[in-house]
Amino acid sequence: FPVTIGGWLRRLKWTYNHKEFTGEEIGEYFGMVYLITNTRTGRKYVGKKFFTKAARRQVKGKSRKVRVASDWEKYFGSNKVIQEEVKTLGEDVFKREILHLCKSRSECAYWETWEIFNRDALRTDDYYNDWVSCRIRKAHLLSNRTPAMYKTKMRRPTHFR
């Protein structure tokens, strides 16, 4: 998905902390929680994506489960409305930001759900999100806990205060 910017042809990337994020920074992370914003309308989408996906490979004549790279670099979410808008408006209309880098599937689920609820995304048309579903085990979170998880507390939306 190349885009011309100032005469230069470049691919649209993800950003993390206002800097371009590439596969070189993945390291020990399992996935990410992201925010995609339609820059024309301001409408947003919160989601999660894993950097790898399950696959099967033949090893010594036997089929083995392995993890292979996912399509995270060109991913625009699972929401059908946003996917259609990307096709009709073009990818350059959308800004893609990584909100959290996560070390486990449970941590991704936790932070995605936290962001959706904290932003009140299901109760406003400002977001493409129209459902949330998660299964999170406390033990999985505690074993992969990051310093940011200790500090962050759920803020109650202002209309509930």
Dist. CA 91–CA 88, nearest whole Å: 9
Residue 123: predicted pLDDT: 95
Tokens describing residue 91: 């990818």
Residue 10: predicted pLDDT: 43
Dist. CA 115–CA 152, nearest whole Å: 11
Residue 86: predicted pLDDT: 94
- Burial zone of 120 (CB within 10 Å; 0-12 exposed, 13-18 middle, 19+ buried): middle
SS3 46: strand
Tokens describing residue 36: 């995609």
Residue 12: predicted pLDDT: 63
Residue 87: predicted pLDDT: 94
Low-confidence ranges of the chain (pLDDT < 50): 1-10, 150-151, 154, 156-157, 159-161
Residue 24: predicted pLDDT: 87
CB 36 within 8 A of CB 94: yes
Residue 159: predicted pLDDT: 47
Q: Residue type at 146?
A: T
Residue 134: predicted pLDDT: 82
Residue 161: predicted pLDDT: 42
Residue 148: predicted pLDDT: 54
